[in-house]
């Protein structure tokens, strides 16, 4: 008889959606997001973390490694320190920021519409205000 026809190949499933970023602690080597008038303390001993503080929250973030990205926005109040150097710290949207870089080679960005932006760089090679 006639040979059987092959079946239609199956369709692949949709890729899974990533979960929402966690709120609060931002523990070892992790990313932290602080919103909604929360008080957050982030520590990043290994470096390479992304910490964001927004919505009138109050944040302390310490990056003791290098290459952390730290954003303070939305009228938040932030104390960010980077002891490993090479961090990027951004202050915008009415935030009040105190940035400290003790490892050098940090990049500071402060928009004109912020409540305050204090930057301290020891180690040299920093850019920004």
Separation of alpha carbons 93 and 78, rounded Å? 13
CA distances from 92 to 55, 66, 71, 78 (A): 12, 22, 8, 11
Length of the chain in residues, anyone? Answer: 129
pLDDT in tens, 10-53: 677 676 665 554 444 333 345 677 777 678 888 888 888 999 99
- The strand pair at 50-53 and 32-34 is best described as parallel
Separation of alpha carbons 20 and 45, rounded Å? 23
pLDDT in tens, 52-101: 998 889 999 999 988 999 999 989 999 999 998 899 999 999 999 999 99
Tokens standing for 21? 């970023």
């Amino acid at each position: 008889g006639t040979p059987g026809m092959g079946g239609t190949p199956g369709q692949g499933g949709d890729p899974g959606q990533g979960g929402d970023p966690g709120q609060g602690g931002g523990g070892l080597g992790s990313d932290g997001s602080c919103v909604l008038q929360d008080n957050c303390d982030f520590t990043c001993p290994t470096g390479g973390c992304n910490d964001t503080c927004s919505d009138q929250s109050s944040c302390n973030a310490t990056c003791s490694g290098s290459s952390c990205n730290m954003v303070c926005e939305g009228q938040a109040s932030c104390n960010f320190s980077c002891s490993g150097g090479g961090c990027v710290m951004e202050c915008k949207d009415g935030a009040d920021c105190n940035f400290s870089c003790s490892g050098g080679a940090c990049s500071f960005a402060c928009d004109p519409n912020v409540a305050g932006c204090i930057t301290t760089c020891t180690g040299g090679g920093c850019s920004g205000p």
